[in-house]
Amino acid sequence: MECMIVYAVDAGGEYVTLDEIFRRHPSDARGIYVNLTNRCTCACTFCLRTMKKMAEEHTLWLRQEPLTGEVRKELDEAFSKHGDKINEVVFCGFGEPTMRLEDLVYLLKYAKENFHGIKTRLNTNGLSDLNYNRDTAPDFGGGILDTISISLNASNAERYLALTRSEFGARSYDAMLEFATHCKKYVADVVLTVVDHVEDEEEIEKCRKICSERGLRLRVRAYEDK
C-alpha cells in the first residue's frame, strides 16, 4: 500500500484520502495537505510522529520521498475531482517541508499558477535558516505563500530546546524568531504556534507577548496524543 502524499484530516485528527474525506463531507470546503518528507531537524517530545497510531492504508510515513512530478500529478487529480471544494493547499506532513526547500518553493509556485484563487500555507519549525546557512525568508516572496505557521513552542530558549531537541542546539530559538520576523516582508500572514496541554496559561501568555512585540499572531494548537 502506498503512503499518502496528498491527504486530508477529519475529526479527531484522522488522516484520510481526499476521496474519503469528500465522501464523508460532500458539501464541505476544506484544505488539503501535502506530505513531502519524513526528515526533520527537531525531535519534539510531544510530536505525534512518535505517538500517533495510523492505519497502514492511511500512513504518512513515506517509504521514499515523492518526486515533484508525483506531487504535481496528485494535486492535478485532486483539483480535477474536488477543486470546487478545496480552499487551501498546506505543506505539512510528518516531516519538515523546508528540508526540501527548492522543491517546496517549486510546488508553491505550481499551485498558485495552476489552481486559480487557491490559498497556500506552510507549517514549519522555522529553522531553515540554520539548515541552509542563509536567510531563507525571501524564498517565499512573490505571492507564492499566503500563510506561514511557525512552531514557537515556548517563551524562552531553554524550554524551547528541551521541548524540540533541535539538532542546532541553543541558537535555534533566536534563529526561529528571526526567521519569523523576516517572513513578514514576504508573507502576508505570519503565525506562531504553541500547543495546549504542553504549555500552561502563564506560558501561553508569555508567548502571546513575544508575538505582540514582533507584530506576529499567536495560535494555540490542539494537542494530539493518539
pLDDT in tens, 146-167: 999 999 999 999 999 999 999 9
| H/E segment holding residue 91 | strand 86-91
Residue 135 lies in a domain: yes
Q: What is the pLDDT of residue 94?
A: 83
Q: What angle do CA 204, 208, 211 make, to 5 degrees?
A: 140
Q: What's the chain's length in residues? A: 226
Q: What is the pLDDT of residue 192?
A: 97
Q: How far apart are CA 156 and CA 176, in angstroms?
A: 12
Residue 17 Cα distances to 20, 82, 216, angstroms = 5, 12, 33
Residue 154 lies in a domain: yes
Residue 182 lies in a domain: yes
Q: Give the model confidence (pLDDT) of 51-104 as tens digits.
A: 555 555 567 889 899 999 999 999 999 999 999 999 999 999 789 999 999 999
Q: How far apart are CA 80 and CA 151, in angstroms?
A: 33
- Say how far residue 125 (Cα) sits from the centre of its chain: 8
Report residue 200's pLDDT band, with 50, 70 and 90 as the boundaries. Answer: confident
Report residue 1's pLDDT band, with 50, 70 and 90 as the boundaries. Answer: very low
Report residue 226's pLDDT band, with 50, 70 and 90 as the boundaries. Answer: very low
Residue 120 lies in a domain: yes
For 76, the domain range is 6-221
Amino acid at 33: Y
How many other β-carbons are positioned within 10 Å of the β-carbon of residue 69? 8
Q: Where do runs of H (alpha helix) occur along the chain? A: 18-24, 68-82, 101-114, 128-132, 157-164, 172-183, 201-213
3-state secondary structure 136-159: CHHHHCCCCCCEEEEECCCCCHHH
Residue 226 lies in a domain: no
Residue 53 lies in a domain: yes
- Rounded mean pLDDT, 134-146: 98
Nearest to 211 by CA among 170, 176, 159: 176
What does the longest C-alpha to C-alpha distance in the chain come to? 48
Residue 64 lies in a domain: yes
% pLDDT > 90, the chain: 81
The domain total for the chain is 1
Task: Tell whether the model's pLDDT for residue 13 goes beyond 70.
Answer: yes
Q: What is the CATH number of the domain that holds 20?
A: 3.20.20.70
Residue 1 lies in a domain: no
